[in-house]
Structure 1
């Protein structure tokens, strides 16, 4: 059997796109890229694939694309700047002459055309090519669908978040893009079974071809060990976006109550915010006056601080109960104790409990306050830390690089085999992989 080629089509990839989605995509791609069983290439906001042909055999290479980077930066230039003004004029002209693409910008259309061209060029020169589109945004799927309309090939769609469907035209367009995959995608992947079930029910996806691959995080050389000096304050760290729907009034009330106890003198809070507003800063100041706040640190700076943490705060919105947060998996990859402020039976709640961390519930009075008191005692206990180091191993194994790579390669192989069977190139229908339903 010849080696599979996997083309990853992802709009957001760190470090060019500094978002949770970008970090998750980058970690997953790097894990896949290190496997001998596959040849892996990336089409993203700022990367392209060069195709070199020697003696009728194609050699591929993922490269940074100056063209893609230029049109991306050009499209996001400030409107009042010279380049921003030029782009706005160019975009108006584009929309005038391309009315059927009126929901796309000039930049988005160029990105789609470039990626579609790459996909078709590779499909025409290589065997066993599987394209893996990662959303959100659904923009990552459009070049795959347009290439598929020219020439059929196996592709997979990964969905990390449910579609944010409002009553506007763009939301309907996003949904229409997803609906087009139902008859042509070989399978779909999700980071949690709860999210998979939502999408299966809403869009009548074939549940047998929906698989769970948890968010990927690279293996860490150093893990939390718990042996902290008793005279040192416990470090609680929060990183990421400040969601108003997650930082509720009840959560703030319990935090404020804890900060007025004697145990609070043993604790220091650090917030590393990637997205925030004045309300965010006021919420933190009012409820944790002594908190240290950092803004938009580099990925390396964030990891340096989190590696020194005693406990990671991961906060759930009422709207995110079916999702697996990348920040949760990142904390697990470091072996850190986790304090999940969430809701009963949410995905985060179940994973945290299985991991051996602490859960408190936004909708239960004094729950956050009570668990804070419990944590400050247990994190100082050698017996608790030793037991936690044992308890965490099961979940850490499930998100290990080895398991993520195994799931990815097996599902890609299934997609390729099923495509060949559907096209009547192979006689036998492939066996559907099982066991990919955690968390």
Structure 2
């Protein structure tokens, strides 16, 4: 279950080409457990239909201030009171100007004036329009009025220009909304959580290495969820291109040996250890000091590989008075639950999360995942299956289940 179940987001969509991204924003908010209602300007309907956003939100889309049926009960006031947060994405230069001057000439601007809850805005426009002094004055006014600005990003634009003005990506926008809806956690220094994430790289020579397809997204989502629960989180990460979650201490490593050294150092003072990294099982017996040259008279190359340390099994084998609760991961391509049960027993884990990485839509590199959760009980083991969902939502489930197994 997502941590933000029942939180209510009012999404305003104005007339920009980035309106197509609003569909993904709704999907991500719903996956996080939020209720979403949508208000569209007249111009927005030229870029994406109300029917599309209604299907995604599960709620009727409002488009007119002068809707006799809705306004019979002062619908715009009801909407303003309903929302826990207002998000406008995309926000055009025109809409920003009207909001900055307190205009109430359509449903969206009217309910923004009537709404006293937090408001966020994601600008989207041509780079020259964004840089124009009038737009900069207007956005400053909104910030002074309490609006939180998200973006914009810089890059290629639909008109062919390059520069600032692109609407931020849906994931960044939703992350800002969820942070606004989530009260700062009460830090619990006694609850130390260590998480490994991402791939490892095992050098073959100065320019080559052995690695895998892990993006680190699941481990980083777990770190964010644990920090949101109030834990003191240390994330040991292999080489990935991801921002460090808020409130998380990050240690970057390259090889399995480096990751193992950090894990062994930190695990004895942790209450919970989660091994989510995709650690290389083998490394070169000895990495070449110089680049390995292609041999013109041979079509093969023989490498001698040796086993890497089994990080998760090593943590699970610590003495009882030094051992944290240990959660492992299993990436499988068949018989997922069967292999997960075998690994849970063989490595002496307290809990395991197993997922099928044979699907292109789930697992490595994807934003979504599905998994089997298995954990030890006094009577044996228990399990549950989590269907496909965002890695953020799944991370919340995993963290809450792991914390429930702690002895305090």
* TM-score, scaled relative to structure 2: 0.30
Which entry has the higher C-alpha Rg, 1 or 2?
Answer: 2
TM-score (ref. length: structure 1): 0.28
